[in-house]
Amino acid sequence: MIAGTPDAAHAAPGPSGYAAHADTEYNANHSHLACSAGVRLSDMKKGATGVVTAVEDAHSADPIARRLRELGFVQGEPVRVVARGPIGGDPLLVQIGYTRFALRKSEAARVNVTPEAVA
């Protein structure tokens, strides 16, 4: 599949069971490099926690992805969904460290997270 082609937007699920992105790469163990068994932050429920694995760039000079990284959405950072908006779950209130941010679902969808196991 080639990025930017019509089929690229409708990728089939990868080995992790989640839809693979056009720029997805797999290592020798067939695990997803950018989002190991992860989900999008926008798909997490209220109270869910996890660790950021990546922020997806829509294009090479993506200002939204750059800003998310500047705010602390970087690989290895713990993240928690504090609240979701009443209509369609938009916006999301998320916490990175001691700081909370309100993100549109479209912004949160760019953040890949490995969810923490529920105890």
pLDDT value for 7 = 43
Report whether 51 contacts 107 (CB < 8 A).
no
pLDDT at site 69: 95
pLDDT in tens, 55-101: 999 888 899 999 999 999 999 999 999 999 998 889 999 999 899 99
pTM: 0.67
- Residue 37: predicted pLDDT: 62
CA 19 vs CA 16, 35, 56, 85: distances in Å: 8, 11, 14, 25
In the predicted model, is pLDDT for residue 31 greater than 60?
Answer: no
Predicted pLDDT at 9: 41
Mean pLDDT for 47-62 is 93
- pLDDT value at position 85? 93
Whole-number pLDDT of residue 27: 35
Q: Domains of the chain by range and CATH? A: 1-36 (no CATH), 38-119 (2.30.30.90)
Residue 38 to residue 113: CA distance in whole angstroms: 5
Average pLDDT of the chain is: 77
Quick one: pLDDT at residue 119? 62
- 14 is written with which tokens? 């990868």
Under the banding of pLDDT at 50, 70 and 90, the label for residue 38 is: confident
39 half-sphere exposure, CB direction, 13 A CA radius: 13
Phi first, then psi: give them for residue 42, nearest 5 degrees: -65, -20
SS3 59: coil
